[in-house]
Amino acid sequence: MKGARSILLWPGFLYRYDADTIMVIQQGEIAEEGIYHQLISKKGIYYKMIRNQI
């Protein structure tokens, strides 16, 4: 939805290649923020979550 804001909370994992921003929240704090490809290339928390889902 162009021009709308959405917050997705998912107990499993949802791949959002087209999201404007992905935020990884850990212990109530934003631990990582960026688009899919940025977060994957950082090989941080988001990358590990994706890798563990495959």
Q: What is the pLDDT of residues 13-39, one digit of tens each?
A: 556 667 788 888 888 888 999 988 999
Say if CB 25 and CB 40 are below 8 A apart. Answer: no
Percent of the chain residues topping a pLDDT of 90? 20
Q: Which domain holds residue 23?
A: 1-54
Q: What percent of the chain has pLDDT over 70?
A: 67
Closest by CA to 13, choosing from 50, 51, 38, is 50
Number of structural domains in the chain: 1
CA angle 33, 51, 34 (to 5 degrees): 10
Of 9 and 1, more confident:
9
Among the listed residues 32, 31, 28, 8, the one whose alpha carbon sits nearest the alpha carbon of residue 18:
8
Q: What is the pLDDT of residue 20?
A: 80
